[in-house]
Amino acid sequence: MIQITFLSNDNKVVTAPPNSNLLRVSLREKGGIPFKCGGGLCGTCKCRIEQGLEHTDTVKPKEHKHLSAEELAAGYRMACQTFVNGDIGVSWKVVETVSR
């Protein structure tokens, strides 16, 4: 099993089988990565692999539409397009909900 740490969700740690899709693990384990389409179109699931980038698979063509070369070099990925094959730590932009 591999370990995924959801850094933007109080460092929540979950385990998953190797070659798991990052967004699917997040959904199953309530990791909290934001998403809309699940299919590589909307870009909502943009996240940053802060630890273990070498344990993620090749960047998909769909990701190049939403992420610049600089972002990719900095470890940004789209969770629904990313498969994980080792321990990683992932963060994302947390949108504050404003109560009126």
Taking the least distance from each CB to ligand FES, the nearer of 1 and 68 is 68
The site for ligand FES (CB under 6 A) is made up of: 35-38, 40-45, 78, 80
Taking the least distance from each CB to ligand FES, the nearer of 1 and 16 is 16
Side-chain half-sphere CA neighbours of 8 within 13 A = 17
Q: Tell me the closest approach of the beta carbon of residue 76 to ligand FES, in angstroms.
A: 12
Q: What is the dihedral of CA 53, 57, 80, 96, to 10 degrees?
A: 10
Q: How many other CB atoms are found less than 10 A from the CB of residue 95?
A: 7
Q: Tell me the closest approach of the beta carbon of residue 65 to ligand FES, in angstroms.
A: 9
Taking the least distance from each CB to ligand FES, the nearer of 41 and 94 is 41
